[in-house]
Amino acid sequence: MLLTKKDLNHILKLAHFEIPESEKEEYLGQLAKILDYMKILDQLDLAKIEPTSENMAYRQGSREDEVRQYEELDLAIMAPDFTENAFQVPKILGGEE
Amino acid sequence: MKSTSLLKKSASELSGLLKERKITCTQLLTELFQKISATEPSIQAFLQLPDKEKAYEEAAAIDILYAKGETLPLLAGIPIAIKDNICIKGQKTTCASKILENFVSPYDATVIKKLKANKMILFGKTNLDEFAMGSSCENSAFHITKNPHDLTCVTGGSSGGSAAAVASEEVTLALGSDTGGSIRQPASFCGVVGCKPTYGRVSRYGLVAFASSLDQIGPITKTVTDSAQLLNVICGTDTNDATSAAYPVEDFSLSLNQDIKGLKIGVPKELLNDKLQPEVKAAIEKSLAVFEKGGAIIELINFEAFNYAVPAYYIIAPAEASSNLARFDGVRYGLRAENQINLRSMYQKTRGLGFGPEVKRRIILGTFVLSSGYYDAYYLKAQKTRALIKKEFAKAFQKYDILLTPTSPTTAFKIGEMANDPLAMYLADVATIPVNLAGLPAISIPCGVSKDNLPIGLQIIAKNFDEATMIKAAHYFERSK
């Protein structure tokens, strides 16, 4: 699978981070090699196999619906900008896309 | 020679000496701090050195209790270093990333609460590959930890700092985390014991998540006995972690000093062939003879899962990571790019500045395999492969008590050797990754050294929740080799 720069830009938009233009070719080259290696999975006959995404044996199950006291965490202390009891951020709409 | 003797001792030996009042905690810490002064400038195992004042205060308090003849937990007073992706309240937890460079955790991980309840001395935060993504400790945003056996070689990763700290005798015990081999592989490269418990044995509450269905915290120690005793402390059901198993904790030290007559051992042919570094192959073959001498029955087996686990893992783990690392956005904590025109720009700039190349690579990979049009071809395929791998292990464990492999196909490679070839780095995890996909317990124990004096590790894999057999076999080998 050869990712194009357009594919990469789309993924970066989904993943919410940027890479300098000058580095994109290098990432594309590395990713191409990795995705090419994944083709080995095509050798397997997986038609009748149910997928699994976890290893949870011996589940705890639901707890009683009762109020629990948890430790008060000082959320403001690590916040880049916390005023009026809210995390302040730049505007959501508007500006360059 | 007495001044170096405490550094060489295991936690269980030190525990005995403390109880008999032949040594004090303060004495032990003095030697450790002297050792750190001498070796840490070259090894760089720590991101945050242990707080001397606090450590000595805790040691003095424990010494008073011992002097009074009080009964204390087995590992009371033993110093333990913590991988810097495990949260300690009031201390920095950086995950070796710029995005958390100044993050101070507001709470203790469950394992930390257990260590404190056992009066162990928290002894610094150790280096790792950024967000536990890597097999060499070269992906840390801050510095590379060097292998104590050869400073030009990597420690392995991602728990490279913890493995190096124990191997260089800067600390008695350490905790690491293991998602695809990140405890076992550095333990193998550094010549120490590293154990990944069964998935769900140890709470992940307070472990910064990389891949939630694969991550487990585990001990890095000098001996199998120490591993068993530390497992006793850290295992247990936790209501703060929904993936924590409702399974009782047995006393793992009861599995020590057992014989192995009749133990059925399967050895996957796929991991004992000419693709291994010849010295690794020779060391494993020599080790098999030790088990045979003890009465174990050894058979070579076909185990195709080992051919497919790496590609499946490098779809599943990055997919989970892309989700888990979405929280690092500059809103509530961590790095925030300043003066951004809008929220989206802030996210992009913050994460672009804050994440290193390997983390970015994996988030890109993970986002891609989950994206529309590619989910079935990659992620669904990988999940089915995972199910197949679990089935193959279950079938093997119907016939065998444990499986035995090298922990890594090679000894520690040179720093920088694999820097430009991520795929080559990924392939180094061929022996450890399948274990995480199936959620099994496994331990790496030293089994030899190469002609360059680099350690070689042997991996023992057991079935789910059968740490007892794993420890029994590992301890037999350790005392018989």
Query: Integer distance in angstroms from the first to the last C-alpha of chain A?
Result: 29
User: Would you call B349 and A91 a contact, using CB atoms and an 8 Å cutoff?
Assistant: no
User: Distance (Å, rounded) from C-alpha B258 to C-alpha B477?
Assistant: 11
Encoded tokens for A26: 């290098």
Encoded tokens for B3: 């001044």
Q: What is the mean pLDDT of chain B?
A: 96
Q: Which of B444, B458, B442 is nearest to B406 (CA)?
A: B458
- For residue B103, the enclosing domain spans 3-255
pLDDT digits (tens, 9 = 90+) for B73-90: 999 999 999 999 999 999
**Would you say residue B9 lies in a domain?**
yes
Q: Could you write out the DSSP letters of every residue in B437-473?
A: HHT--EEEEEEEE-TT--EEEEEEEE-TT-HHHHHHH
pLDDT digits (tens, 9 = 90+) for A40-64: 999 999 999 999 988 888 999 888 8
User: Distance (Å, rounded) from C-alpha B359 to C-alpha B354?
Assistant: 10
- Quote the pLDDT of residue B2: 45
**Would you say residue B433 lies in a domain?**
no
User: For B168-223, where are the alpha helices, taking DSSP H only?
Assistant: 184-190
Tell me which of B3-17, B23-37, B72-86, B298-312 is least confident: B3-17
**Under a CB-based contact definition with an 8 Å cutoff, are residues B296 and B265 in contact?**
yes
**Would you say residue B337 lies in a domain?**
no
Mean pLDDT of B267-293: 96
Please indicate if any CB of chain B lies within 8 Å of the CB of A76: no
The nearest CA of chain B is from the CA of A45 a distance in Å of 9
| C-alpha to C-alpha distances, A58 to A62, A94, B196, B383, nearest whole angstrom | 12, 49, 18, 21
**Would you say residue B251 lies in a domain?**
yes
**Would you say residue B147 lies in a domain?**
yes
**Would you say residue B343 lies in a domain?**
no
Please indicate if any CB of chain B lies within 8 Å of the CB of A2: no
Coil, strand or helix at B343:
helix
Choose from A1, A14, A16 for mutation: most chain B CBs within 10 A. Answer: A16
Chain B residue closest to A61 (CA)? B242
pLDDT digits (tens, 9 = 90+) for B110-159: 999 999 999 999 999 999 999 999 999 999 999 999 999 999 999 999 99
Question: What is the residue-level pLDDT of chain A in tens, covering all 97 positions?
Answer: 678 999 999 999 999 999 999 999 999 999 999 999 999 999 999 999 999 988 888 999 888 899 988 878 888 888 999 998 899 999 998 876 5
- Quote the pLDDT of residue A63: 85
- Is B168 noted as a catalytic residue in this protein? no
Angle between helices B305-324 and B381-399 (to 10 degrees): 130
DSSP at B112: H
User: Distance (Å, rounded) from C-alpha B214 to C-alpha B212?
Assistant: 5
Is pLDDT above 70 for B1?
no
- Is B182 noted as a catalytic residue in this protein? yes
Choose from B342, B378, B437 for mutation: most chain A CBs within 10 A. Answer: B342
**Would you say residue B46 lies in a domain?**
yes
User: Would you call B385 and A74 a contact, using CB atoms and an 8 Å cutoff?
Assistant: no
**Would you say residue B360 lies in a domain?**
no
What is the four-CA torsion angle of B214, B219, B224, B225, rounded to 10 degrees? -130
The nearest CA of chain B is from the CA of A23 a distance in Å of 10
Coil, strand or helix at B253:
helix
Chain B residue closest to A47 (CA)? B384
Q: Which of B9, B10, B15, B83 is catalytic?
A: B83
Q: Domain coordinates of chain A in residue numbers?
A: 5-42
pTM of the model as a whole: 0.97
Total structural domains within chain B: 1
Please indicate if any CB of chain A lies within 8 Å of the CB of B346: yes
Which of B237, B331, B384 faces A46 most closely, judged by CB atoms? B384
Q: Which of B158, B203, B287, B444 is catalytic?
A: B158
- Domain containing B64 — which CATH number? 3.90.1300.10
**Which of 217-246 (B) contact A at CB < 8 A?**
237, 239, 242-246
